[in-house]
Every structure is written in structure tokens, then in C-alpha cells.
């Protein structure tokens, strides 16, 4: 139970929008809807995924993409590369960002936490190189339990390439 704060998704979204507005972004309906959707759906999604959601359907995908780029520059959203898929985007959550286990058959995603050594390595790299904001992206591929469970009714179609 979270006794620490009682923010609803709408409050969280509102706080992010206000923060962005303070940094010069226009408080448009598109911005509010996108932030709300990204708070409600924390998993990474490609532009096509976000563009398909009911509250964003009226936006054209170029507008949506530009907005996403602004959010990425503002460090509110991060781009996630998942194998050969189109680049995905997700809201940056507080704390360490998850890496993903990706099912090569159905595309299912499972967040995994990278070992602490990796974070130490980021810090070490930053110290040695003088670079700032050093981060990693790591993906693991495999077949999820749904895709390997024996099916009695229909056959599993393997689309893995
Ligand atoms: Zn699967």
C-alpha cells in the first residue's frame, strides 16, 4: 500500500503537463491526452500504438511524432529500441529504467531489472570518460511461456525470424 502519496493517474499526468508548460511547451489538448495515455500505459509503444488510442486518433502521426520528440528532449519520455521493431517510447518513471525481455514470437514484453553491476559500470564510465548522463539499453530475446505452452486447439505458428 502506498501511504506516501495518493496521486491518481490524472494528477500525475497533470503534474507532468504543468512541468512541461513551465518549460515552454504549449499546453495543448494533444499534449494532455498523450501524457495521460502514457501515464496509463507505462509499457513502451511505437508511434503507431499511441496514434491508435481513442484519445489520440484525431492527431496525425507526424504531429504525434514531433510531440514525442519534444517530450524526449525534455526527458519526460525515453526511446526504447526493441530488436527490429519501430522505435518505441515510454514515460520515464522515477528510479532505474527497466530493460526488457522480448518474445520473438508474439512480441510480448516483460520488464527486467538490470543487475546493479550495470549501473556501477555506467557511473564508472561517466567518471572515466567525463561524459554525463551515461545510460545503457539492454534487451533479452526468447519465447514467452504462452508461446511455448502446448496448444491443444490450434497449432503454434512460429513467425520468429
Ligand atoms: Zn510469446
Task: Look up the domain containing 55 and give its range.
Answer: 7-93
| Distance (Å) from CA 135 to ligand 1 centroid | 28
| Distance (Å) from CA 134 to ligand 1 centroid | 31
The tens place of each residue's pLDDT in the chain, 161 residues long, gives 444 456 798 999 999 999 999 999 999 999 999 999 999 999 999 999 999 999 999 998 899 999 999 999 999 999 988 877 778 999 998 877 888 999 988 888 899 888 889 889 999 999 999 998 888 888 889 999 999 988 655 555 555 44
| Distance (Å) from CA 24 to ligand 1 centroid | 42
The residues, ordered by sequence, that sit 6+ positions from 59 with a Cβ below 8 Å of its Cβ are 30, 51, 67
Q: What whole-number distance in Å separates Cα of residue 118 and Cα of residue 89? A: 22
Kindly report the CATH number assigned to the domain that includes residue 127: 3.30.1490.190
State whether 107 and 133 are in the same domain: yes
The pLDDT value recorded for residue 31 is 96
- How many other C-beta atoms are found inside a 10 Å radius of the C-beta of residue 37? 19
State whether 85 and 101 are in the same domain: no
CA neighbours closer than 13 Å in the CB half-sphere of residue 46: 9
State whether 11 and 62 are in the same domain: yes
CA angle 84, 89, 95 (to 5 degrees): 115
The answer to whether the CB of 99 falls within 8 A of the CB of 112 is yes
| Distance (Å) from CA 102 to ligand 1 centroid | 8
| Distance (Å) from CA 40 to ligand 1 centroid | 23
State whether 84 and 135 are in the same domain: no
Residue that has been written with the C-alpha cell 527490429 in this structure:
84
Is 77 part of any domain?
Answer: yes
Q: What whole-number distance in Å separates Cα of residue 26 and Cα of residue 75? A: 16
The total domain count for the chain is: 2
Amino acid at each position: 500500500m502506498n501511504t506516501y502519496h495518493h496521486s491518481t493517474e490524472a494528477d500525475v499526468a497533470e503534474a507532468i503537463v504543468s512541468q512541461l508548460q513551465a518549460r515552454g511547451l504549449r499546453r495543448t489538448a494533444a499534449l494532455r491526452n498523450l501524457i495521460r495515455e502514457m501515464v496509463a500505459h507505462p509499457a513502451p509503444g511505437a508511434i503507431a500504438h499511441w496514434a491508435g488510442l481513442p484519445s489520440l486518433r484525431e492527431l496525425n502521426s507526424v504531429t504525434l511524432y514531433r510531440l514525442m520528440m519534444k517530450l524526449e528532449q525534455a526527458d519526460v519520455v525515453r526511446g526504447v529500441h526493441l530488436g527490429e521493431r519501430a522505435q518505441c517510447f515510454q514515460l520515464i518513471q522515477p528510479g532505474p529504467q527497466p530493460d526488457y525481455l522480448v518474445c520473438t514470437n508474439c512480441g510480448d514484453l516483460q520488464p527486467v531489472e538490470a543487475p546493479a553491476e550495470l549501473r556501477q559500470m555506467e557511473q564508472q564510465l561517466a567518471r572515466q570518460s567525463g561524459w554525463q548522463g551515461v545510460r545503457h539499453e539492454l534487451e533479452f530475446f526468447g519465447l514467452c511461456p504462452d508461446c511455448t505452452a502446448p496448444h491443444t486447439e490450434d497449432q503454434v505458428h512460429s513467425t520468429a525470424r
